[in-house]
């Protein structure tokens, strides 16, 4: 299992808003502003970076919960920075407080949940759960 992860462990992720990150990319009648799914993806990436240094061997963390408020719009060219701070740990589940800002203001906040998994075991489990014929183990 992962090394103990201290409360307060931090991570961040940044990106510049491109057309592919906008609502318009999903539907042409929507405005060209940073989409909520892309905001959540960036926040999840920051949370991953906060916990990843404590994983060992084939371990990684995967998302388990999202509770996000998208509070302000950002357009193409805006530089978005997401930060994650480990807030609590309950058994197998980590809760991280996340925020995202552009150069002007906070654009999102909330929490994300993650848990540590062994990549090989995780992939094998997904293969067994996939629809269709299953090869004999």
User: Residues 40-91: pLDDT tens digits?
Assistant: 999 999 999 999 999 999 999 999 999 999 999 999 999 999 999 999 999 8
pLDDT of residue 137 exceeding 70, the answer is no
Q: Which of 15, 17, 34 is nearest to 78 (CA)?
A: 17
Q: Which of 44, 49, 42 is nearest to 102 (CA)?
A: 42
Structure token pair of residue 82: 């997401």
SS3 content of the chain, % helix, strand, coil (to 5): 25, 40, 30
pLDDT at 1: 60
| CA pair distance 111, 57, nearest whole angstrom | 27
Q: Which CATH code is given to the segment(s) 10-126?
A: 3.10.129.10
Domain boundaries, the chain: 10-126
Q: What is the pTM of this model?
A: 0.89
Phi, psi dihedral angles at 102 (to 5 degrees) = -100, -170
């Amino acid at each position: 299992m992962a090394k103990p992860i201290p409360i307060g462990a931090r991570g961040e992720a940044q990106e510049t808003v491109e057309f592919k990150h906008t609502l318009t990319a999903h539907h042409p009648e929507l405005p060209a502003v940073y989409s909520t799914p892309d905001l959540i993806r960036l926040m999840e990436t920051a949370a991953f970076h906060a916990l990843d240094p404590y994983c060992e061997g084939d371990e990684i963390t995967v998302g388990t919960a999202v509770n996000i408020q998208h509070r302000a719009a950002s357009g193409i060219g805006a530089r978005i920075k997401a930060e994650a701070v480990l807030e609590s740990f309950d058994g197998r589940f980590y809760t991280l407080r996340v925020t995202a800002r552009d150069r002007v203001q906070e654009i999102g906040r909330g929490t994300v949940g993650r848990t540590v998994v062994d990549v090989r075991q995780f992939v094998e489990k997904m293969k067994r759960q996939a629809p269709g014929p299953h090869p004999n183990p």
